[in-house]
Every structure is written in structure tokens, then in C-alpha cells.
């Protein structure tokens, strides 16, 4: 028999997983309409955040929302789509530099407005104060 404390812990974890999974599914379907996956979208946003400074696979992997071992494959797929470019560093030939291309920036620009609407739709049941409080509470768990 579970105690009330154990039950509330379980309820919190299950609810957080369900909400996270729902957001993940909705956002995955959303970005799929642009011909990319959610992890690919995450890589593009990380690279855009570099503001022209190159990133390496390690940097990208550290900043990923969903940590994964197949970052190389994600980057390769984005290169095939001409959204990302890989170069060998001129100063250190063992170092690989990864940049977002103009096409990648354009795609993100196209997605931005619609993404704002999608995020608004997903969080609409909460008012601004509730959103801020929930962010603060959940942030203490990570």
C-alpha cells in the first residue's frame, strides 16, 4: 500500500511525463510539416544561437533537449537537406566545425511565427502568472 506522500510523488512524475510526452508529440507533428524532425529542429536552433560561431558535435549534444548518441546522424541528415554545413577547421584539421546555412536560417524564420502560435495553443489553459510559477517550480527539478 502506498502512502499519501508516495502517491503524490508518483502522480507528479506521471503527470510531468504525460505533459512532456504530449508537448513532444504535438511539436514533432508540427515540425514534420516543414520536413524535419524535432531533434533536427533542436540542432538548427542551437546552431542559430551560435550567431555565426561554429559549433562541434560535443557542443550540440550538450545543448540538446533530448541527449542522444546519434548527433552525428542528425547533422548528416541536415547536411543532406542543405540546412547545415560541416567544415574542417583551418587551424586544427582534426576539429570539425558545424554551421547553419542560409537555407537553415530561412527555414527557422518560416517556422518561428507558427511555432509561437503552437506554443501559445499548448500553454493556453494557464495564465501568464501560472506559466511563470510552473516554469520556476519545474526548473527546480532539473
Rounded to two decimals, what is the model's pTM?
0.86
Instruction: Report angle CA 111, 112, 118 to the nearest 5 degrees.
Output: 85
- Mean pLDDT, residues 75-96: 88
Task: With cut-offs at 50, 70 and 90, classify the pLDDT of residue 106.
Answer: very high
Q: Which residue has the cell 546519434?
A: 70
Q: Is the model more confident about 87 or about 30? A: 30
Per-residue CA distances from 54 to 63, 88, 131 (Å): 14, 11, 34
Q: How confident is the model at residue 122, as a pLDDT?
A: 95
Question: What's residue 117's pLDDT?
Answer: 95
Interior/surface letters 112-134, b for 16+ CB within 10 angstroms, e for the rest: eeebeebeeeeeeeeeeeeeeee
Q: Give percent of the chain above pLDDT 70.
A: 99
Q: pLDDT class for 93, splitting at 50, 70, 90?
A: confident
4 vs 38, residue with greater confidence? 38
Whether the pLDDT of residue 90 is over 80: the answer is no
Q: What is the pLDDT of residue 11?
A: 92
> pLDDT (tens digit, 9 = 90+) per residue, 47-71?
999 998 889 888 899 899 887 778 8
CATH of 15-139, one of 1.10.10.10, 1.10.1040.10, 3.40.350.10, 3.40.640.10: 1.10.10.10
Alpha-carbon torsion, ordered 63, 64, 65, 67, to 10 deg: -120
Domains in the chain: boundaries: 15-139
pLDDT band at 96 (very low <50, low <70, confident <90, very high): confident
Amino acid at each position: 500500500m502506498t502512502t499519501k506522500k508516495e502517491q503524490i510523488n508518483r502522480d507528479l512524475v506521471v503527470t510531468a511525463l504525460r505533459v512532456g510526452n504530449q508537448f513532444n508529440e504535438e511539436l514533432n507533428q508540427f515540425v514534420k510539416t516543414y520536413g524535419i524532425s524535432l531533434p533536427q529542429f533542436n540542432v538548427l536552433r542551437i546552431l542559430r544561437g551560435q550567431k555565426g560561431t561554429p559549433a562541434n558535435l560535443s557542443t550540440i549534444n550538450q545543448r540538446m533537449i533530448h541527449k542522444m548518441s546519434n548527433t552525428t546522424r542528425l547533422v548528416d541528415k541536415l547536411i543532406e537537406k542543405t540546412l547545415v554545413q560541416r567544415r574542417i577547421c583551418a587551424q586544427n584539421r582534426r576539429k570539425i566545425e558545424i554551421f547553419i546555412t542560409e537555407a537553415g536560417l530561412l527555414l527557422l524564420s518560416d517556422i518561428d511565427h507558427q511555432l509561437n502560435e503552437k506554443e501559445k495553443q499548448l500553454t493556453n489553459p494557464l495564465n501568464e502568472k501560472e506559466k511563470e510559477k510552473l516554469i520556476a517550480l519545474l526548473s527546480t527539478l532539473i
